[in-house]
């Protein structure tokens, strides 16, 4: 990887290729040649996500495939790359990104209507056009991602475009798609998602539903496809509001749907109620092969368009952190924050949908409490607003002295401010998922969720025991007097390496991967963030 360039403000680009060169410029792109589509690309990507920060991987000369037919993974895994996608800046830290995103989703939603897609006569996606029997999906290096998948998944980092036949509103969603043969793939959409509602409506009205699938594109379009943009707002217009320019699209004579003109690969066709195919299982975002297998609508591709030397965008889920967990956490945290503000919850200080819950199952909301019941209001709305309703499991509400992004602080608040008998409410029959590993086979996909009020009881807030830690002023004074001490030995980074480090030192292993780590760690020097004496204690 190349050296990091100086900080820049604001960034603009118009397609995946321009984005790739920006990312390469700041040193976060690694090109991998000669990898095998069969498990090796998936495995390399998984290893990559565990390093933090990690580069995006651009696979070329994939085994069995023509050079130039490329695949990208890890596109949105750091603040610099995600900040670039969002046209914010190329060099944001995690914290800067979270702060910059605050208030943005509401603004994008409000402005979206000003950016309908712009029809252009032609675009690079037309460099290769194959119709009917000539359609050939076998040209693209579609990985067999995880060992126990039921097939090769072409649709992971995809943007599936549908529209509401009543209102004409276009939707773009990321829905998994398994390659069935050279001309067809499945499109598996969970009931309740916009794409599902759309094809059901079309089937009821016309007996078939149009669909366009972009398989490589500006990663911003992918981000928006993978998060819950409010109902009635088109992700294409939302995209325009973020970029400040409409998305360039081609009009098609096959379906009424727009075709992104600068996309890498685009499929067009129709879904029919009686054309389905078996698909799954697939390693899912929950960290399990939990979506199971079954039938899903089959897309028989009528037209394939692709650019010369196309880049397929891959985004395989798995046990977090995975390909898009960072993006989902950053985006959902901002979107849920804005949804709470829009719903009238006052004094929301922060929202965090941590990666460990796949950006869905654990949501932390911090508030400045103003009245009795405030914390429960924030919790209940966070648990059920559209942006968070699907498959959340725990909402934790904390006071504003707790950093919601710091799970050590959050759990400390739960341990000391939440009386389980009083402060945990359970909602039943909420919007669950077939991907829920706890769901019994064949059971309807409801779930329950806990709202954990980890705020100090409002009526005792003034008299609640004082937190036993030095005041910031005192710490600042002492730190400046003793600055040399901390320059030599940085304080432990919260949450980094704790359990793993302890296991290494004790020579214990709880599972295979730790066993390996323990072996490697045996002769390794002590980590620099270790406090004095810790080695002996362990």
CB 16 within 8 A of CB 220: no
The phi and psi torsions of 495 (rounded to 5 degrees) equal: 80, 0
Nearer to ligand FMN, 116 or 445 (CB): 445
Angle at the Cα of 369 from the Cα atoms of 364 and 374, rounded to 5 degrees = 80
Q: How far is the CB of 117 from ligand FMN (least distance, A)?
A: 16
- Of the candidates 227, 335, 367, 410, which one interacts with ligand FMN according to CB under 6 A? 227
Identify whether the C-beta of residue 220 lies closer than 8 Å to the C-beta of residue 13.
no
CB of 228 to ligand FMN, least distance (A): 4
> What is the spatial distance between Cα 62 and Cα 503, in angstroms, rounded to a whole number?
38
Nearer to ligand FMN, 123 or 195 (CB): 195
Rounded Cα–Cα distance for residues 239 and 226 (Å): 13
Stretch (H or E) spanning 248: strand 248-250
What's the 3-state SS for 312-373? EECCCCCCCCCCCHHHHHHHHHHHHHHHHHHCCCCCEEEEEECHHHCCCCEEEEEECCCCCC
Residue of 315, 329, 333, 405 interacting with ligand FMN (CB under 6 A): 315
CB of 123 to ligand FMN, least distance (A): 24
CB atoms within 10 A of CB 379: 28
Q: Which residue, 305 or 360, is less far from ligand FMN as judged by CB?
A: 360
The site for ligand FMN, by CB under 6 A, has a size of 20
Determine the angle formed by the axes of helices 104-111 and 94-101, rounding to 10 degrees.
40
Backbone dihedral angles phi then psi of residue 317, each to the nearest 5 degrees? -80, 170
- Pick one of 15, 109, 228, 453: the residue that binds ligand FMN (CB under 6 A): 228
Is 302:269 a contact under the CB 8 Å cutoff? yes
Q: Is 145 in the site for ligand FMN (CB under 6 A)?
A: no
Q: Does 321 bind ligand FMN (CB under 6 A)?
A: no
Which of these segments, 37-45, 99-107, 220-228, 303-311, binds ligand FMN (CB under 6 A)?
A: 220-228
For position 234 contacting ligand FMN by CB under 6 A, the verdict is no
Taking residues 166 to 195 in sequence order and writing x for each that binds ligand FMN by CB under 6 A, - otherwise, the string is -----x-xxxx-----------xxx--xxx
Cβ proximity to ligand FMN, 58 vs 229, nearer residue: 229
Q: Which stretch binds ligand FMN (CB under 6 A): 27-35, 86-94, 226-234, 272-280?
A: 226-234
CB-nearer residue toward ligand FMN: 175 or 337: 175
- Residues 353/356/361/365 CA torsion (nearest 10 deg): -30
| Residues near 200 by beta carbon (within 8 Å), at least 6 away in sequence | none
- Comparison of 59 and 175: residue with beta carbon closer to ligand FMN: 175
In this structure, are residues 327 and 223 in contact, taking their beta carbons and an 8 Å threshold?
Answer: yes
Instruction: Give the shortest CB-157-to-ligand FMN separation in angstroms.
Output: 6
Q: By beta-carbon distance, which residue lies closest to ligand FMN?
A: 226
Q: 82 or 174: whose CB is closer to ligand FMN?
A: 174
Which is closer to ligand FMN, CB of 383 or CB of 413?
383
Token pair for 251: 């009009």
Q: Mask: binding to ligand FMN, 150-169, rule CB under 6 A, as x and -?
A: ------xx------------
Which C-beta is closer to ligand FMN: that of 331 or that of 397? 331
Of the CA atoms within 13 Å of residue 314, those in its CB half-sphere come to 31
Nearer to ligand FMN, 189 or 353 (CB): 189
Give per-residue burial for 157-172: e unless 16+ CB within 10 Å, then b: bbbbbbbbbeeebbbb
Task: Indicate whether 16 belongs to the interface with ligand FMN (CB under 6 A).
Answer: no
CB of residue 176 to ligand FMN, shortest distance in Å? 3
Closest to ligand FMN by CB, 90 or 433 = 433
CB 225 to ligand FMN: min, Å: 6
CA 517 to chain centre: 28
* Binding positions for ligand FMN, 261-280, rule CB under 6 A: none
In angstroms, give the least distance from the CB of 226 to ligand FMN.
Answer: 3
CA distance 460 to 458: 5
Distance from C-alpha of 534 to C-alpha of 536, rounded to nearest angstrom: 6
| Cross-strand pairs, 130 | 304
Give the tokens for residue 342: 């829009």
Task: Write out the two tokens for 401.
Answer: 């002295």
By beta-carbon proximity to ligand FMN, the closer residue of 109 and 228 is 228
Residues forming contacts to ligand FMN in the complex (CB under 6 A) are: 156-157, 171, 173-176, 188-190, 193-195, 225-228, 315, 317, 324
């Amino acid at each position: 990887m190349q050296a990091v360039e100086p900080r820049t403000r604001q960034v603009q680009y118009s397609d995946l290729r321009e984005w790739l060169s920006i990312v390469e410029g700041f040193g976060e792109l690694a090109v991998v040649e000669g990898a095998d589509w069969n498990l090796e690309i998936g495995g390399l990507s998984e290893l990559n996500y565990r390093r933090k920060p990690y580069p995006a991987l651009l696979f070329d000369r994939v085994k069995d495939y023509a050079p130039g037919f490329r695949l990208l993974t890890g596109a949105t895994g750091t603040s610099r790359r995600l900040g670039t996608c969002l046209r914010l800046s190329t060099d944001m830290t995690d914290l800067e990104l979270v702060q910059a995103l605050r208030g943005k989703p509401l603004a994008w939603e409000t402005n979206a209507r000003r950016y309908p897609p712009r029809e252009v006569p032609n675009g690079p996606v037309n460099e290769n056009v194959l119709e009917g029997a000539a359609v050939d999906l076998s040209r693209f290096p579609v990985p067999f991602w995880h060992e126990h998948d039921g097939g090769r998944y072409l649709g992971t980092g995809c943007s599936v475009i549908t529209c509401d036949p009543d209102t004409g509103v276009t939707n773009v969603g990321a829905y998994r798609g398994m390659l069935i043969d050279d001309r067809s793939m499945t499109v598996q959409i969970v009931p309740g998602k916009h794409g599902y509602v759309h094809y059901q409506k079309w089937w009821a009205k016309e007996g078939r539903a149009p669909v366009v699938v972009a398989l490589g594109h500006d990663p911003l379009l992918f981000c928006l496809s993978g998060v819950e943009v409010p109902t009635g707002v088109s992700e294409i217009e939302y995209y325009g509001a973020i970029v400040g320019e409409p998305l360039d699209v081609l009009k098609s004579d096959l379906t009424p749907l727009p075709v992104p003109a600068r996309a890498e690969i685009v499929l067009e066709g129709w879904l029919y109620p009686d054309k389905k195919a078996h698909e799954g299982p697939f390693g899912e975002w929950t960290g399990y092969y939990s979506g199971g297998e079954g039938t899903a609508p089959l897309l028989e591709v009528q037209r394939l368009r692709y650019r010369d030397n196309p880049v397929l965008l891959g985004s395989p889920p798995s046990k977090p952190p995975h390909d898009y967990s960072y993006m989902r956490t950053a985006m959902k945290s901002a979107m849920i924050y804005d949804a709470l503000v829009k719903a009238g919850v006052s004094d929301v200080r922060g929202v965090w949908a941590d990666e460990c819950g796949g950006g869905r199952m654990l949501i932390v909301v911090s508030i400045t409490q103003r009245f009795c019941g405030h914390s429960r209001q924030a919790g209940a709305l966070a648990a059920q607003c559209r942006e968070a309703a699907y498959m959340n499991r725990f909402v934790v509400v904390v006071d504003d002295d707790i950093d919601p992004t710091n799970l050590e602080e959050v759990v400390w608040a739960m341990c000391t401010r939440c009386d389980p008998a009083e402060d945990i409410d359970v909602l039943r029959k909420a919007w669950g998922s077939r991907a829920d590993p706890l769901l019994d086979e064949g059971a309807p996909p409801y779930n329950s969720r806990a709202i954990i009020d980890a705020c100090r009881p409002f009526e005792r807030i003034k008299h609640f025991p004082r937190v036993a830690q030095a005041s910031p002023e005192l710490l600042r004074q002492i730190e400046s007097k003793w600055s040399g001490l901390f320059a030599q030995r940085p304080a432990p980074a919260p949450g980094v390496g704790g359990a793993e480090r302890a296991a290494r030192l004790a020579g214990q292993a709880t599972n295979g991967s730790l066993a390996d780590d323990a072996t490697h760690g045996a002769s390794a020097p002590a980590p620099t963030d270790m406090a004095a004496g810790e080695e002996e204690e362990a």
